[in-house]
């Protein structure tokens, strides 16, 4: 991710450092065409692009503008699309900097004399997902299998696209890099913004809103055919005030990741009938007596009998999260073993059978007294390995500075091997922990700058070199605040976090 590219004539005007900044509003009408307001319409605007506490990048804006010519008369503001264009001086060229939508309050109109002033709050796609998520009822969970992290060519199996779909985001509204790390299972249970940020964390990717109101997912070290991230340049001379502080709260020397790891196992028995009463023979093999008028629950055809799937391992039984390749009724009946008291194997049959991902529903009909020796269902299960852990510490740094723990909070991890930045192959969680520890050991600075120049081309999340005559420091933009008042122009506040060791 880099800063916006400017037309040379616009860049030349900005380089003058004296030309006033002009902000133009374009507003979509009901047909989808855009109405451009006069250049002096915007009274004030606050545009905030920032890194959310969960790690994604969001944009919020509050603007106040006049509608002298009543161009917007009769239009409802709710969910209306705005394009925000920036220019400098009289160069006549514009940068379309933001594409935002009005929130649910729409236009707040105030009549003053003969003019109408409109106030509106605007948001990008991530901000909308973040705001609307807590207002939804997430009782309906979604279980997914056989996924990859991100793949725009296969949205039906891309976890990124499937999470976004729960927030109403279409595949065409997503632009993403390909991260083909496989996942056998994921269960979506809540706010899509939280789950999108968790996915971005596990992929070490950036998630943000695009200029065309798209959702962007990029810059993962695990993506296919990864190109080096572009680096922009920002001179210290552009700021009239620039403060520097230690970002010590980000330092850690021990990373501890615990998560619940789904695992797909080979095809095996997922359920077998074991309901008492039971009789054991001399070899302790069980058999289950059945009578034609018996009262076993599995014989009650008015209620389907639930055969809950589980995997048996030494000393424990694991519930099955999901199973496929489950035997059909014919296959189950072929392996049913029944010995009638009068002789023969006839007398017990399956009258109803339906399989689901975690259980089967069935009933048995008994026409002759006898003993059931075997009734089982096989399939290929996915189980959860709870409390899987990966820890990594730097003992030398702990001895020097004391223990500073970073707890891993993501949950979408693949079992696939990855090649790290050091060209060593590790599992995805192991490499993630190693990179988190590497970041935690960095002694980083945070820079906070203020400028009255037109730094509207700066982008939150972008990498840049903060330069002067003596040094260059690689930073990532954490926060950008563009504060515009017609009476005093534009003021920019930028927060940058150092990316390299100090």
Phi-psi region of 114 (alpha: psi -120 to 50; beta: other; left: phi over 0): alpha
CATH fold for the domain made of 133-226 = Phage tail protein beta-alpha-beta fold (3.55.50)
Query: Quick one: average pLDDT of 371-387?
Result: 96
Indicate the pLDDT class of residue 502, thresholds 50, 70 and 90: very low
Point out the least confidently predicted range of 132-146, 306-320, 372-386, 416-430.
Answer: 132-146
Alpha-carbon distances, residue 26 vs 107, 210, 284 (angstroms): 15, 17, 81
Model-level pTM? 0.91
Query: Quick one: average pLDDT of 138-151?
Result: 88
Give the separation between CA 199 and CA 58, rounded to whole angstroms. Answer: 16
Indicate the pLDDT class of residue 10, thresholds 50, 70 and 90: very high
| Residue 409 pLDDT greater than 80, yes or no | no
| CB 204, CB 432: distance < 8 Å | yes
Domain ranges of the chain: 8-123+233-247+443-498, 133-226, 264-383
Give the separation between CA 41 and CA 486, rounded to whole angstroms. Answer: 9
Alpha-carbon distances, residue 71 vs 36, 115, 160 (angstroms): 9, 12, 40
Give the separation between CA 425 and CA 440, rounded to whole angstroms. Answer: 21
| CB 203, CB 179: distance < 8 Å | yes
Query: Would you state the structure tokens that stand for residue 334, as one six-digit string?
Result: 């072929």
Instruction: Supply the CATH classification number for the domain 8-123+233-247+443-498.
Output: 2.30.300.10
Two domains, one topology: 8-123+233-247+443-498 and 133-226: no
| CB 130, CB 192: distance < 8 Å | no
Residues 6 or more apart whose Cβ sits within 8 Å of residue 13: 19, 87, 88, 89, 91
Which residues are bridge partners to 183 per DSSP?
147
């Amino acid at each position: 991710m880099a800063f916006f590219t400017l037309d040379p004539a616009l860049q030349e005007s900005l380089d003058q450092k004296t030309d006033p900044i002009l902000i133009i509003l374009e507003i979509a009408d009901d047909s989808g065409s855009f109405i451009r307001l006069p250049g002096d319409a915007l009274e004030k605007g606050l545009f905030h692009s920032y890194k959310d506490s969960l790690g994604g990048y969001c944009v919020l804006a509050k603007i106040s503008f006049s509608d002298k010519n009543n161009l917007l008369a009769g239009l409802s503001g709710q969910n209306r699309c705005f394009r925000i264009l920036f220019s400098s001086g009289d160069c006549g060229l514009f940068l379309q900097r933001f594409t935002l939508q009005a929130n649910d309050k729409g236009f707040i109109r105030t009549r003053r004399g003969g003019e109408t002033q409109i106030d509106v709050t605007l948001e990008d796609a991530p901000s909308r997902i973040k705001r609307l998520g807590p207002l939804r009822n997430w009782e309906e969970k979604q279980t997914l299998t056989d996924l990859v992290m991100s793949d725009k060519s296969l949205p039906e199996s891309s976890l990124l696209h499937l999470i976004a779909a729960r927030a109403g985001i279409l595949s065409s509204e997503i632009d993403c890099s390909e991260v083909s790390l496989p996942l056998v299972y994921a269960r979506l249970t809540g706010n899509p913004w939280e789950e999108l940020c968790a996915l971005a964390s596990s992929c070490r990717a950036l998630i943000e809103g695009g200029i065309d109101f798209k959702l962007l997912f990029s810059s993962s070290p695990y993506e296919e055919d990864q190109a080096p991230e572009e680096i922009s340049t920002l001179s210290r001379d552009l700021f009239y005030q620039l403060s520097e502080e230690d970002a010590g709260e980000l330092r850690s020397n021990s990373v501890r990741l615990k998560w619940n790891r789904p695992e797909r196992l080979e095809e095996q028995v997922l359920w077998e009938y074991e309901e008492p009463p039971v009789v054991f023979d001399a070899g302790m093999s069980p058999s289950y007596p059945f009578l034609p008028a018996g009262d076993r629950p599995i014989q009650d055809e008015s209620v389907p009998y639930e055969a809950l799937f589980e995997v048996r391992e030494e000393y424990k039984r694991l519930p099955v999260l999901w199973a496929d390749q489950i035997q059909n009724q014919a296959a189950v009946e072929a392996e049913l073993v029944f010995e009638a008291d009068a002789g023969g194997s006839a007398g017990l049959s399956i009258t109803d059978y339906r399989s689901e991902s975690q259980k089967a529903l069935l009933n048995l009909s008994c026409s002759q007294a006898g003993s059931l020796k075997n009734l089982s269902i096989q399939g290929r299960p996915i189980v959860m390995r709870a409390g899987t852990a990966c820890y990594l510490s730097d003992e030398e740094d702990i001895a020097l500075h004391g223990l500073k723990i970073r707890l891993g909070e993501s949950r979408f991890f693949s079992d696939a091997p990855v090649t790290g930045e050091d060209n060593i192959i590790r599992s995805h969680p192991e490499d993630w922990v190693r990179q988190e520890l590497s970041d935690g050991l960095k002694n980083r600075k945070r820079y906070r700058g203020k400028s009255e120049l037109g730094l509207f081309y700066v982008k939150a999340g972008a990498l840049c070199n903060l330069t002067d005559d003596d040094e260059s420091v690689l930073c990532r933009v954490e926060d950008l605040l563009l504060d515009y008042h017609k009476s005093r122009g534009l003021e920019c506040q930028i927060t940058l976090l150092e990316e390299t060791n100090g």
